Structure 1
Amino acid sequence: MTPRPRELARNLVLGVSTAAGMAAEDPSLLLVQAARRLPTRVRHGVVRLLLAGAPSPQRRAVGAWLGGHDGEARELLSAVLTGARPGSHPVLAEIGVLLDVPGAHLAGSRATAARAALRRGEVSRAVELARGTPLAARFASERCAMTPGHDLRTLPAAALSAASTAGTAGTAASPPRALHVLTNSFPHTPSGYAVRSHQVLLAQREAGVAVEAVTRVGYPITVGKAFARHRDVVDGVGYSRLVPWRSARTPGARLQQQLEELRPLARRYRPTVLHTTTNYTNALVTRALARELGVPWVYEARGVLEDTWVASFPPHLREAAAASEKHALLRARELEVACSADRVVTLSEVLREDLVARGVPRDRTRVVPNGVDGRLLEVREAPAAARWALGLPGEGFWVGTVSSLVAYEGLDTLLRAVALARAEGVDVRAALVGDGVSAPGLGRLSEDLGLGESVIMPGRVTTAQAERWYLALDAFAVPRVDSAVTRSVTPLKPVTAMALGRPVIASDLPALREVTGGAALFSQAESPESVAQAILRLARNQDARDELAAAGRAEAAQRTWNSLGRRYRAMYEEVVSA
């Protein structure tokens, strides 16, 4: 739907002012970020231009980076930037920092050096380096926000009394009214986070809970959706947007702005409980609002923030990241907000035990795993038929995923496994459906392995299209790397594949054993040979595929969202009446 004139005006003013602020504060980074977000076709065209003729080492380095050849780009940048004068290559230095090229920041500005320190997790050092630069206020505010003990300003005592009437719409004897404070949502972001959020809202509504959702301040305008409405209704669920005329300049100020923008909406909706999800920024806003309204709040820990951050580094840098100041701050901050919530929801027993071991009271924790739409259990379609509908070849054994293409998913292992399986004379093919920072590198690896047309990478697809891609696979792969975050955080995608009757091949990690109920074929993490053996076993044995698919579907039938919605209602009624 087209936004109303006043909505459009506000969107445009916010978008332009945000971009202008970023350009004034950090022009080199803005240029690099914009380049990374170019559509695939445009990015490939830019790469061709950069590499045309006899390109300089600088052009070759940028072309390699945009083309997903990170290793080549790292080598070229190391040669170009070594010994370069300070400030002589600001854009190349920014790319070098992103690629963890040692000393790359020395060829950039003081701001680049500050950002490199923050990238390494040296938070206080980054704040020190940023002094006297346009980044000073932002870095200081970011450190303050992630430091335990910092809180948002709330209404004074006289106003709190008036605000508390917002929670009087429900009582312990009436259905709960839940307001969900989210990072992003449908229809603008089709991520796993948004999928779970939407399914939780639908399940709660089915269980008799009145639900409404609101997303972070500025979203979705600040992610490029200039023509977005300020309220969307998806499947009958309302998603309100907090769109100010201008965005506050620092992270802490934006959280305060979000609280102030959220306050009138909450008073109109009159919730009896607030519900938010990781990370701590959502929790700070929700906790402050709950105090003002005099209602309980729930914190849904969908992951381990500091371990997810560590997993974004190359393997040889993860140990240093895990020992950094940033890791310690994030860990302490997440524990603090979790301990202050009335209830903490986790997606797995593994994650629950981890939080309890850290100090979260066990009696305040609840497990609500990823579920599935019960409708999927009734879908019956052969993989070849689904591929035909997508315009793909019916022949071959297709293995793949529908996921964000990021490093910890281990999809490079899957591509190497496909190459090994094909070397055994079996027509194995792969589909990697989705987008992410690893996409260019995976495309290059596929070329290097000589996989050619046996690998399909269609990019990001809609939720409706995603179901068809699940069905097009003969086996669904979750070849996650072995890391702290993958051992404790359970993904949604294997349960969806199981409900649709597709056998799952998964890394042998605690979180994946739990989320699949053991109804998967497990392989050694980060071992192409082990994954290849699992692929070949299923490719050569239809009975094995059918048996695993049936077991997976039976397991998924125990995890429908409707049944999980009742768990949420019981929890809400418990905290409202406490």
Structure 2
Amino acid sequence: MRVLHVLDHSLPLHSGYTFRTRAIMTAQAARAWRVAGVTGVRQGRTTSAVETVDGLTFYRAGDARALPAPFRELAEISALAKRVEAVARMFQPDILHAHSPVLNAMAARRAARRLGLPLIYEIRAFWEDAAVGNGTGREGSLKYRATRALETRAAWQADGVAVICEGLRGDLIARGVDPAKIFVVPNGVDMGLFGDPPPRDEAFAADLGLADAEVIGFIGSFYDYEGLDDLIAAMPALVALRPRAHLLLVGGGPMADGLTAQAAASPVAERIHFAGRVPHGEVERYYALTDILAYPRKAMRLTDLVTPLKPLEAMAQGRLVAASDVGGHRELIEDGVTGTLFPAGDPAGIAAALAGLLAARSSWDARRAAARAYVARERDWARNISRYEPVYQELAHRS
């Protein structure tokens, strides 16, 4: 089987998007499939038209042209379609596998028609909802409705549609997309990357002001939908219940300044620590300092429909996880077994749930073991990757 992936961006850039792509392509290559990727203009400027990163080959479409919307997007689609077609004529794939956003599906569809190849479109999130979540879009706006219409049309036209969770599948079915061609390939992790978690570095903890602390941690991007303002607002009540409690926030993003100001005004400001963005290779040191990883996402379409990757990574590392009870988290976490769920948007409820988990130290080992076993059983890419194979085989033989 030869599969050409059509991507927004890839390694060496680091994001949840690129890590899922790496996991998919690496697991497919481990099955002796031939795989390669083509990235669009959003990859940015690169030194070569072809790059090999972590043993994976990526073909680049070049830089974006400085044009106003929608001419910029039309130019992106045209450039990517031409590059996909050129690479496909050389690579001779059995399948074109396009990944969100919809511009990639539109470019891949154009190339697939010219080449007579089957097309799978993989939707990782509805990007109109992601724009609302990160503050760059407004639900119901003309751009929102146009993007939604293009997304629906792309799903109708694709030969197969992969989604990362049941929430997205249900939404597409409600739009009239044929349920028979939609299949779920959930977010997962490469368990081979996670051995025994590193021990807590006490000197490092002391340097950060976390000596002898019970540490609630968040490691990721600071977007509004992540609900970090609710987590900061929960800290006074949590400290009242657990006097050694501290909050460690690692990362950055659009909400960073607002969260820093909110924390500075908190009556427990000295218990809230910002580490900033850290190199990817340093992240495990921060994970090792935390007792509980908290994910307080707000309730909205994006978080109800989409399952995040970060809680899975924490569970794979044997970390305790607590998260809001939005739909995306409920697909991942069994409350009281593999993690703790608390009410979204409720600082008092967050504080009570975290305090209860901190007090139940005798249950931690069993909780960690159950979470890691769940990820190994249900969300390891070595198993996950098999969900693509029957669809690939059917479409390849049909074409």
The 1:430–1:378 alpha-carbon spacing in structure 2 relative to 1, beyond 3 Å, is same
What are the Cα deviations for residues 182-240 of structure 1, in whole angstroms up to 9, with x where unaligned?
1112212x11111111111111111232111121126222xxxxx64433322211122
Matched, 1:199 2:17: no
1:247 to 58, 65, 78: 65
Matched, 1:279 2:84: no
Q: Is the Cα–Cα contact under 8 Å of residues 109 and 119 in structure 2 kept in the other structure?
A: yes
Matched, 1:561 2:378: no
Question: What one-letter code is carried by the residue in structure 2 that aligns with 1:183?
Answer: D
Deviation at 1:287, TM superposition (A): 0.6
Write the distance in 1 (CA, Å) between the matches of 2:143 and 2:219.
31
The 1:485–1:387 alpha-carbon spacing in structure 2 relative to 1, beyond 3 Å, is farther
Write the distance in 2 (CA, Å) between the matches of 1:373 and 1:515.
16
Q: Is the Cα–Cα contact under 8 Å of residues 182 and 215 in structure 1 kept in the other structure?
A: yes
Write the distance in 2 (CA, Å) between the matches of 1:417 and 1:229.
48
Write the distance in 1 (CA, Å) between the matches of 2:81 and 2:206.
45
Write the distance in 2 (CA, Å) between the matches of 1:496 and 1:311.
22
Which residue in the other structure is 2:133 paired with?
311
Q: Is the Cα–Cα contact under 8 Å of residues 191 and 404 in structure 1 kept in the other structure?
A: no
Question: What one-letter code is carried by the residue in structure 1 that aligns with 2:58?
Answer: Y
Write the distance in 2 (CA, Å) between the matches of 1:292 and 1:452.
60
Which structure 2 residues correspond to residues 160-309 of structure 1 after superposition, within 5 A? 176-188=1-13, 190-217=14-41, 219-221=43-45, 228-243=47-62, 247=65, 249=67, 250-251=71-72, 252-309=74-131
Deviation at 1:528, TM superposition (A): 0.7
In structure 1, list runs of 5 or more residues that go unmatched.
1-175, 222-226
Deviation at 1:376, TM superposition (A): 4.8
Write the distance in 1 (CA, Å) between the matches of 2:120 and 2:190.
23
Q: Is the Cα–Cα contact under 8 Å of residues 9 and 42 in structure 2 kept in the other structure?
A: no
The 1:280–1:387 alpha-carbon spacing in structure 2 relative to 1, beyond 3 Å, is farther
Which residue in the other structure is 1:110 paired with?
none
Which residue in the other structure is 1:399 paired with?
216
Write the distance in 1 (CA, Å) between the matches of 2:83 and 2:197.
46
Write the distance in 1 (CA, Å) between the matches of 2:202 and 2:35.
35
Which structure 2 residues correspond to residues 129-168 of structure 1 after superposition, within 5 A? none
Deviation at 1:268, TM superposition (A): 1.5
Deviation at 1:381, TM superposition (A): 3.4
Deviation at 1:469, TM superposition (A): 2.6
The 1:551–1:507 alpha-carbon spacing in structure 2 relative to 1, beyond 3 Å, is same
Write the distance in 1 (CA, Å) between the matches of 2:203 and 2:181.
46
Which residue in the other structure is 1:331 paired with?
148
The 1:390–1:358 alpha-carbon spacing in structure 2 relative to 1, beyond 3 Å, is farther
Root-mean-square deviation (Å): 2.3
Which residue in the other structure is 1:504 paired with?
321
Higher helix share: 1
Mark the structure with the bigger radius of gyration.
1
Q: Is the Cα–Cα contact under 8 Å of residues 325 and 341 in structure 2 kept in the other structure?
A: yes
Matched, 1:552 2:377: no
The 1:484–1:218 alpha-carbon spacing in structure 2 relative to 1, beyond 3 Å, is closer
Question: What one-letter code is carried by the residue in structure 1 that aligns with 2:396?
Answer: V
Q: Is the Cα–Cα contact under 8 Å of residues 386 and 468 in structure 1 kept in the other structure?
A: no
Write the distance in 2 (CA, Å) between the matches of 1:490 and 1:211.
26
Number of corresponding residues: 390
Matched, 1:523 2:342: yes
Higher strand share: 2
Q: Is the Cα–Cα contact under 8 Å of residues 495 and 516 in structure 1 kept in the other structure?
A: no
Write the distance in 2 (CA, Å) between the matches of 1:541 and 1:260.
58
Write the distance in 1 (CA, Å) between the matches of 2:308 and 2:242.
32
User: What TM-score results when the alignment is normalised by the length of structure 1?
Assistant: 0.64
Deviation at 1:470, TM superposition (A): 2.6
Secondary structure at the aligned position of 1:457 is classed as: strand
Which structure 2 residues correspond to residues 79-90 of structure 1 after superposition, within 5 A? none
Q: Percent identity?
A: 34
1:533 to 330, 337, 352: 352
Write the distance in 1 (CA, Å) between the matches of 2:170 and 2:233.
34
Write the distance in 1 (CA, Å) between the matches of 2:98 and 2:176.
20
Write the distance in 2 (CA, Å) between the matches of 1:437 and 1:420.
26
Deviation at 1:385, TM superposition (A): 3.4
Which residue in the other structure is 1:156 paired with?
none
Secondary structure at the aligned position of 2:18 is classed as: helix
Deviation at 1:453, TM superposition (A): 4.6
Which residue in the other structure is 1:410 paired with?
227
Write the distance in 2 (CA, Å) between the matches of 1:376 and 1:468.
15
Question: What one-letter code is carried by the residue in structure 2 that aligns with 1:335?
Answer: T
Q: Is the Cα–Cα contact under 8 Å of residues 409 and 479 in structure 1 kept in the other structure?
A: yes
Deviation at 1:311, TM superposition (A): 2.9
Which residue in the other structure is 1:576 paired with?
396
User: What TM-score results when the alignment is normalised by the length of structure 2?
Assistant: 0.91
The 1:389–1:398 alpha-carbon spacing in structure 2 relative to 1, beyond 3 Å, is closer
Q: Is the Cα–Cα contact under 8 Å of residues 85 and 115 in structure 2 kept in the other structure?
A: no
Write the distance in 2 (CA, Å) between the matches of 1:204 and 1:466.
27
Question: What one-letter code is carried by the residue in structure 2 that aligns with 1:385?
Answer: D
